[in-house]
Structure 1
């Protein structure tokens, strides 16, 4: 039986393990965290990813965990709400089918689907990779060294696998000038079925209902920080506090104070990953490790679709041919998303007050087909 090591137990990793197990492989999934990660930021499952989870028989589980957000409201500095912009349940703003759910729930459901067919190792990660024509010798930070036929890096934007097999992040990762911070508030949402968006130039504060709870997100444009460390909570708090220091509208000061006090604060720079090739010998990258192009939400769908494509290719041929086929097919998806990243950023965090008003009006026309007065900044 052929063996595959998958680094990362988020979304891409367990999806790949599921399909490889059904093709006769014995996957091992190693995860740096000491358990299932807690990030509850909502993500979308749509397009080809929805077809994949349907084949896995997971749609009912995903729908049971869905956020049930069906509308958007813009909030001005005085707390006044715009008219509600409705989104049909189970559909995106474009009218296509999708399921929105917390990322942690999506990862939990995917891991449970393959739990009996893969080996999961938590609180460990890859420390060294040595390849030869017949396989890959892997040294781990904690566990004993092992040999695998193939190694897949599904370990996200800050991929250890990519660094070991391809080189420094400086060569392949480019900061896009945007940061994201999210945390659950542990309180019922003001609007149980509505996402609330409050913008000032270059800044967004959003409140998103998640099944009786509400999460807050700060998304903002900010300079590149020298020595940025995605694990440095103290640094994250300093950046967030400085970015929103002059914001006094709506509930921003209160929400900022609460976010700065919690330990469960997800914080990262929005970045683009671009490599000339996603494979090096018997090592291949998947998900954000290969091409982090989606700003907010689409990354999980791309990860699921890419995992299915990679598994199908590996099951049908030698790894060289399989990796090439997977990359050609999946790059079409990631490149399309990359081309739209600037527009998504412009819509979510306009740079001027005039841009905020124009965005609000455009959103109303796009989603309802009729103009209306919307809340200002």
Structure 2
């Protein structure tokens, strides 16, 4: 077990590449996008995941990029203030916590810089896995553009709509559990003049959150609305924009200006809030990591931490198995699942504990620390 192909250059895949290269493996990361993906929401590194980034040597870099919110205001459907807090925000929890909230693209860049410090790590952008052919000695992988290559192992870290999962395990519909809502996130100039302060509005089954980033020069705008999963034909950006605008049109306050920003946004992310539930995360020499295998959805607030902790547990399991004379990947994958599954299940439960908002603080504290990296 030496060569490892990782499909997906997001948080999970990039963290795993950095962790594997330090353990003597030769990881290659293939990412469909032409480069590191920009945009996206603020994400959280919580509990045990903080220890992962510390072991990677990037904890201080992550802290330097953390958001600097002073608090938040919750508004009713007409834009009237109904609640204000200087102790916590909906996106990050308590402001006096050691947990780190930062933008997803900042974290990916930090992890990518760390991974490329090791000469054995290779990144390939603008390509994707299209076929997997396993045998007793390895996996022959076909790509959309490059010629086929063989690897000892393949890791699917390619997100909720994982191609590796589909190729190795079957259609997404077998494993997806829709949570009844959708999330649309995009960036815009700070036309509201917010200064380190979040605004959240909800009216019926729709609402949004708005918060400033990049030293208050930009906004991240997150729309949420109820509905069935998006059909494949509605996943094109312009179709998504039309759907989001339709669902949000009834909201008042600054909604017209926010929808104008949506129409002009170059970086819309829109998807259903869905969890992935699987009986096993490996098949032969293929294994799943992060959202591809056990997406908790953004409603849990723990997707990033699951990706980081999962990467560490998988890297440890592979290194431990290789240190034995047989180097059995099956033993590594079994150990990975045995250690991580209870942690995953506890954190997935956060997404459904409180349908009307974030899970209770004590539930989050318990879930985010429910594993030890050294067990």
Q: Would you say same fold, with TM above 0.5?
A: yes
Map of 1:354 onto structure 2: none
Give CA deviations for 1:333-360 in whole Å, capped at 9, x if unaligned. 2111222212344216xxxxxxxxxx9x
Question: Which stretches in structure 1 are left out of the alignment for 5+ residues?
Answer: 349-358, 364-377
Map of 1:163 onto structure 2: 166
Map of 2:93 onto structure 1: 92
Picking from 281, 300, 303, the partner of 1:299 is: 303
Map of 1:145 onto structure 2: 148
Q: Cα RMSD (Å) of the superposition?
A: 2.3
Matches within 5 A, 1:215-234: 215-227=220-232, 229-230=234-235, 232-234=236-238
Answer yes or no: is the 8 Å Cα contact 1:194–1:209 preserved in 2: yes
Map of 2:277 onto structure 1: 274
Q: Once the 2 structures are TM-superposed, how far is the Cα of residue 321 of structure 1 from its aligned partner?
A: 1.0
Q: Once the 2 structures are TM-superposed, how far is the Cα of residue 176 of structure 1 from its aligned partner?
A: 1.7
User: 2: distance between equivalents of 1:272 and 1:335?
Assistant: 11
Q: Describe the shift of the 1:62–1:77 C-alpha distance in structure 2 as closer, same or farther (beyond 3 A).
A: same
Q: Once the 2 structures are TM-superposed, how far is the Cα of residue 78 of structure 1 from its aligned partner?
A: 4.2
Picking from 190, 195, 198, the partner of 2:193 is: 190
Give CA deviations for 1:220-259 in whole Å, capped at 9, x if unaligned. 11233444554x1122123212211222x21012212321
Map of 1:241 onto structure 2: 245
Map of 2:351 onto structure 1: 341
Answer yes or no: is the 8 Å Cα contact 1:75–1:250 preserved in 2: no
Residues matched between the structures, number:
349
Q: TM (normalized to structure 1)? A: 0.87
Q: Once the 2 structures are TM-superposed, how far is the Cα of residue 83 of structure 1 from its aligned partner?
A: 5.3
Map of 1:111 onto structure 2: 112
SS in 1 for 2:270: strand
Q: Once the 2 structures are TM-superposed, how far is the Cα of residue 56 of structure 1 from its aligned partner?
A: 1.4
User: 2: distance between equivalents of 1:71 and 1:94?
Assistant: 8
User: 2: distance between equivalents of 1:269 and 1:78?
Assistant: 26
Answer yes or no: is the 8 Å Cα contact 1:76–1:250 preserved in 2: no
Q: TM (normalized to structure 2)? A: 0.87
Answer yes or no: is the 8 Å Cα contact 1:294–1:337 preserved in 2: no
User: 1: distance between equivalents of 2:161 and 2:30?
Assistant: 15
Answer yes or no: is the 8 Å Cα contact 2:185–2:221 preserved in 1: yes
Map of 1:260 onto structure 2: 263
Answer yes or no: is the 8 Å Cα contact 1:40–1:105 preserved in 2: no
Matches within 5 A, 1:303-318: 303-317=307-321, 318=328
Map of 2:203 onto structure 1: 200
